[in-house]
Amino acid sequence: IESHPQAPGIYARVTADRARAEADAAAARARAGLRRGPLDGVPVSWKDLFDTAGTATEAGSALLAGRVPERDAAVLAHAGRAGLVCLGKTHLTELAFSGLGINPVTATPPNINDPELAPGGSSSGAAASVAFGLAAAGIGSDTGGSIRVPSSWNDLVGLKPTHGLLSLEGVVQLCPRFDTPGPLCRSVEDAALLLAALSGAPAPDLAGASLDGARLLVLDTAEIGPTADGQARALEAALDPLRAAGVRVERAALPAVAEAMALAPCIFAAEAYGTCRELIEARPELMFAPVLDRFRSGEAFSAPDYVAAWQKLDRLRAEYLAGTAGFDAVVL
């Protein structure tokens, strides 16, 4: 990290002393035959919105400059008990409220495919840390795509766990009803192991796992938006090995997905502004204007608008669950 030319645009802070101490402790456990599990000693980065004891946690914003928590976030504490090594804090979109990953307030991390391209966000530095080989995995957060977008744009695996599965204690929050921590890594196996570590659960035994007989539903995405030919071909190519492994692939249209996505501008913006209004309106001149404008767009929605959007979302969730019942997984 210290010598890599892209590191300053990826890491907001490197916790070198902590990383060395944790790595030394993991090595000592390994020599004594006391490894805590398959992730003991694995070095990971942390998006700079997870509280890290004694290290500034500023969520990519000048509004939180100098904020130094006394305790680790709950998921970071769980990770430490699994033996994961904390390398440092990675850059992100300001207050985690943009999917592009651009942040002129602090830094914009590079994209592995072209450093001039946007990295995806808001867990931009988390993705770059893994893609550029500066961490074995990155821990980010996802509200409406903030793990999945940068993972996709940087050729990684990104997992947004079920909301509520992982603790938000000690996390700078954006939309508490949607926010969740999660891993960005190089394989589905890594994601499964990291998910267990972040939740404090034992590592799963993945040996002998089989997909034979599983049912997979592929959703028609035409109602969500246009799909490029290359994307369609990539999807089909990804399905072929699943079919070969015995997966039953079926297709269907489910309008509830597109209808739910149309509610995002109201629900996300209103909740984000309600969560962060006091912070951002205290010193709005410190913010990147497009992010500030996105926050303030939430003020345009009335309480009846917000309640109606949630009522519709609850109905659409029920329709989605009914439409996907009996399937082991859904692809779109």
Among residues 45, 47, 123, 160, the one annotated as catalytic is: 47
pLDDT tens readout for residues 235-256 = 899 999 999 999 999 999 999 9
Expressed as residue numbers, the domain containing 92 is 7-199
CA–CA gap between residue 205 and residue 193 (Å, rounded):
9
Reference 175, options 295, 12, 307, 46; nearest CA is 295
Q: In what side-by-side order are the strands of the sheet with 329-331?
A: 248-252, 215-219, 329-331
If asked whether residues 136 and 176 sit together in one domain, one would say yes
CATH number for 43: 3.90.1300.10
Residue 122 contacts residue 148 (beta carbons within 8 Å): no
Whether 205 is covered by a domain: the verdict is: no
pLDDT tens readout for residues 261-305 = 999 999 999 999 999 999 999 999 999 999 999 999 999 999 999
Among residues 45, 61, 129, 146, the one annotated as catalytic is: 146
Q: What angle do CA 79, 81, 26 make, to 5 degrees?
A: 100
Q: Among 151, 167, 199, give the residue marking a domain's end.
A: 199
Reference 135, options 75, 200, 94, 186; nearest CA is 186
Residue 252 contacts residue 220 (beta carbons within 8 Å): yes
* Range with lowest mean pLDDT among 18-22, 173-177, 233-237: 233-237
Q: Confidence class of residue 228 from pLDDT cuts 50, 70 and 90?
A: confident
Domain count, the chain: 2
Among residues 45, 61, 98, 122, the one annotated as catalytic is: 122
Strands of the chain (E only): list them.
11-14, 43-47, 85-90, 137-142, 157-158, 180-185, 215-219, 248-252, 329-331
pTM: 0.95
If asked whether residues 176 and 225 sit together in one domain, one would say no
Whether 1 is covered by a domain: the verdict is: no
If asked whether residues 69 and 174 sit together in one domain, one would say yes
Q: Among 171, 199, 227, give the residue marking a domain's end.
A: 199
If asked whether residues 66 and 192 sit together in one domain, one would say yes
47 is catalytic: yes
User: Three-state DSSP class for 270?
Assistant: helix
146 is catalytic: yes
152 is catalytic: no
